[in-house]
Amino acid sequence: MDDSGKAYWSATLRLLGWIMAAWFAITFLGGIIFAPQLNSFHLGGYPLGFWIAQQGSIYAYIAMIFIYAKLMGNIDRRFDVHEK
């Protein structure tokens, strides 16, 4: 693989790492680990930890899909491997 290919995969894996870190933070930290502390706050009448675990994480995952698609498209254009 040439240097351009290595740089492309490095950028792709870096983006994937950030997306997975966000997934971990939302799922485990926000919805499980820190849920008891977050439950002292309320959103829409529900404890925040509960809301993140039940509803907020779904919204965050959908947002992450769109963010990933946009940033991956940027990477593809930067390395000229995008669809024409």
* Helices 3-24/57-78 angle, 10° precision: 170
Residue 83 belongs to a domain: no
Residue 84 belongs to a domain: no
Residue 58 belongs to a domain: yes
Assign 71 to helix, strand or coil.
helix
In this model, does residue 7 exceed pLDDT 80?
A: yes
| Domain boundaries, position 50 | 3-78
Q: Write out pLDDT tens, residues 29-43.
A: 998 999 999 999 998
Residue 61 belongs to a domain: yes
Residue 57 belongs to a domain: yes
The contacts of residue 7 (CB under 8 Å, 6+ apart) are 79
Q: Mean pLDDT, to the nearest integer, of 22-35?
A: 93
What pTM, to 2 d.p., does this model score? 0.84
For residue 51, the model assigns a pLDDT of 92
The count of structural domains within the chain is 1
Q: Write out pLDDT tens, residues 41-78.
A: 998 899 999 999 999 999 999 999 999 999 999 999 99
